[in-house]
Structure 1
Amino acid sequence: MATLPPIRDVIARHGLSASKALGQNFLLDEQLLDRIAAIPGPLRGKPVLEIGPGPGGLTRALLRAGAQVTAIEMDRRCLPALAELDEAFPGQLRVIEGNALDIDPATLFDEPYAIVANLPYNVGTALFTGWLSGEDWPPQWASLTLMFQHEVAQRITSNPGTSAYGRLAVLAQWRSSAKLAMKVHRSAFTPPPKVMSAIVHVTPAAMPEGVSARVLERVTEAAFGQRRKMLRQSLKALPGAVDALDTLRIDPSRRAETLSIGEFVAIARELTRG
Structure 2
Amino acid sequence: MNWLTSLPAVVLVVGGLLLAFLVAALARIGVRALVPAGEQDRVPQIVTPLMPTLGAAFAIFAALTLASESGYLRAAEGLVSDEAAAASRLAWAATSPRVHSESIHMALRDYLQTTRVREWKGAAAASGDDAATAHAIARLERTVRAEAARTEVGTPAGTELVASLDGVTNGRRARIAAASRAVPVLYVVTLVASGLALIVNAGALVFRSSLRTSLLIAGVASVVGLSLALLFALSAPWSGPFIVSGHPLDAVIGDLRTGFFGGGS
TM-score by length of 2: 0.21
Instruction: Report 1 or 2 for greater relative contact order, CA contacts < 8 Å, sequence distance ≥ 6.
Output: 2
Q: Which of the two has higher C-alpha Rg?
A: 2
TM-score by length of 1: 0.21
Which structure has the highest helix share of the two? 2
Which structure has the highest strand share of the two? 1
